[in-house]
Amino acid sequence: MKSLFAIGIALTVAAAGCKEKERPEEQEAPQQQMKIAFTVHKKGNALIFKSAEGAAWEEVGYSCKALPCEFILNDHGTDPKIPAEVFSIGFSFSGNDVKMISVNMAPKKGTTWETLAYSCKTTDCDFRVTEEGVTGL
């Protein structure tokens, strides 16, 4: 009995000297690169978007009443009342020049670029936008 009591005291003293292992700080989850791709057909003062990947819409358009004009395109379209979930891109449109500003969507990152520009040589043109950049078609 005395030996059990001695073992109990020894374990209590030993446990008191031990520290709980420090937990590593929770690390932020890395931002995921989202796959987005759509084509843009510029015709006069209108832009027509056709999604290939990453959007809830298949086709959406935006017509400017006067130039220059600005609007937001996101994975749900151009309605500012519907918030973005995957990507959000601000468009600035003046004549033949189309400028784009990517808005990062934490914890997912929409694009690898922050700003892009595409200049059409005529009033009508086509180009493709992805998470990597823009190319003419």
DSSP H/E element including 43: strand 37-43
What does the DSSP assignment read for 68-86?
SEEEEEETTBS-TTS--SS
Please tell me the predicted confidence (pLDDT) of residue 35: 87
**Mean pLDDT of successive 10-residue stretches along the chain, which has 137 residues:** 43 47 52 82 95 96 95 95 91 93 73 92 94 94
| Residue 30 CB contacts under 8 Å (≥ 6 apart), including other chains | none
What is the pTM (predicted TM-score) of this model?
0.73
Please tell me the predicted confidence (pLDDT) of residue 17: 53
Interval 88-102: pLDDT, tens: 999 999 989 999 999
